[in-house]
Homo-oligomer: A and B are copies of this chain.
Amino acid sequence: MLEQLKQEVYEANMQLPKLDLVTFTWGNVSGIDRKQGLFVIKPSGVPYEELTPEDLVVVNLKGEVVEGSRNPSSDTPTHTYLYNHFPKIGGIVHTHSPWAVAFAAAQLDIPALNTTHADTFYTDVPAADALTKAEIEEDYEGNTGKTIVRTFKERHLDYEATPGCLVSQHGPFTWGETAAKAVYNAKVLEVVAEEDYHTLQLTRANSRLPQYLLDKHYYRKHGQNAYYGQDNAQSKTHAKRK
């Protein structure tokens, strides 16, 4: 069942320790098959060194396990909520990567201060509100998804252009078209959190990037006029040939 997706999600999970995004088992990746309405997720608390593709658990969009002998990640209700409310995403990553956690604990957005940020995130990466006592006691992991989605609605953010969010007091969630792309975004988030931390200690006099620079970098890599890389629509035209 979903063998290819399992392999992709397995490989995406194995990237987390390779990219220095997790300590011990503190992270998980899932990927979804939108046609079947089923997603594949890391089992709870299994060390990366021992993980195999067969350990992955298949879950439906009600959050019910439909295949797998292992228990799925305890964060499964968060993944379920995000897949239901962000219909175009194909993969989700949750980590406790330390620089992103530092901003989450400070309850501060990761501001767009440099072009590395703008290449991947079109706006500041928001810090969603910490959960209330009632939200935590009622459905902790489900409401973790809810505070993310609510934050994007309230701030009029496009989840495809800003593929990540901090949950205050907790840590980062990122997503993308595929599980692999969501992992890439998790690494970018960690790198810009580290860079922003140091920039803010050097000076708080400079504000965010101007909108025109955010536009330039974001659209250099995304959309119809993208020209970065080998495959984008305009990349052949951008490279003038004699």
Q: Which residues on A are within 8 Å of B, measured CB to CB?
A: 23-24, 26, 43-46, 57, 60, 62-66, 70-72, 74, 76, 96, 98-99, 101-108, 113-116, 130-131, 133, 136-137, 140, 169-171, 184, 187, 191, 194-203, 206, 209-210, 212-213, 216, 220, 227-230, 235-236, 238-242
Contact = CB atoms under 8 A, between A and B. Distances in A.
10 contacts: A26-B116, A45-B228, A46-B230, A65-B240, A65-B241, A71-B235, A74-B228, A74-B235, A105-B195, A114-B170
**How many copies of this chain are found per oligomer?**
4
A144 to B, nearest CB: 10
A20 to B, nearest CB: 10
A169 B203 CA distance: 13
A101 B136 CA distance: 33
B115 A171 contact: yes
A80 to B, nearest CB: 10
A230 B44 contact: yes
A203 B171 CA distance: 16
